[in-house]
Amino acid sequence: MRVCPAFLVLLAPLVAALPARAQTSGLPTFAQSQPPQATPDSPWKGLSVGAEAFWIGGRGAKGGFGGATNVAWSRAFDNNVILGVKLRAGYAPALAFAPLWGGRRAGGWNFVETSATVGYDFGRVRPWASVGAAFLKPTGQRGFGGGIDTLNAFFEPGGGTRGLVTYGAGADIAITNNLTLGVAVHGATRQ
């Protein structure tokens, strides 16, 4: 079959006019490009204020519950790295083998801690590591009730305040942008 070149010359303007005619006649057309997708906000950036409860225990030692309030700020970068700082104040129970401080065995400690964290944003999951400094002041009370007035008790006159270098690692899961649950292991070295 041979096609006449004159036929192609007559057919070319009709083919060129088809897409414009299809758009005006209400016939479906294909999108030329996808609209930009909105990226969701990371739950790991900005200022956060929270409360935490924890359990301290050891092999062969009676453990106990403690708690703290915290204020944190973090910055998420384009490469998903997250840097942050955190300030915590709370109460931690003493273990049975706790050393004598100031001539007495502490029932627990009021503490103030600041730390720097680095993490990675996997969407709703964030693994992290931290290093910081804490100051402990022994209290004779046992139980979480001793931690309710932590800041006032920490800054009252009296000796026995000790400094610690703290470190930790963990992972947080963002249930919503306002609720986070996490698991962590913390350690400290007395200075």
pTM over 0.85: no
Give the CATH number of domain 46-190; options: 2.40.160, 1.10.3470, 1.10.20, 2.60.120.
Answer: 2.40.160
Give me the amino acid identity at 170.
Answer: G
DSSP type of residue 94: P
pLDDT at 164: 87
pLDDT in tens, the chain (191 residues): 555 555 555 556 655 655 554 455 555 666 566 666 655 677 788 898 888 888 777 676 667 788 888 899 999 998 999 999 999 988 888 765 555 555 556 677 888 899 999 999 998 999 999 999 998 887 765 555 444 556 666 666 666 778 889 999 999 999 988 888 889 888 888 76
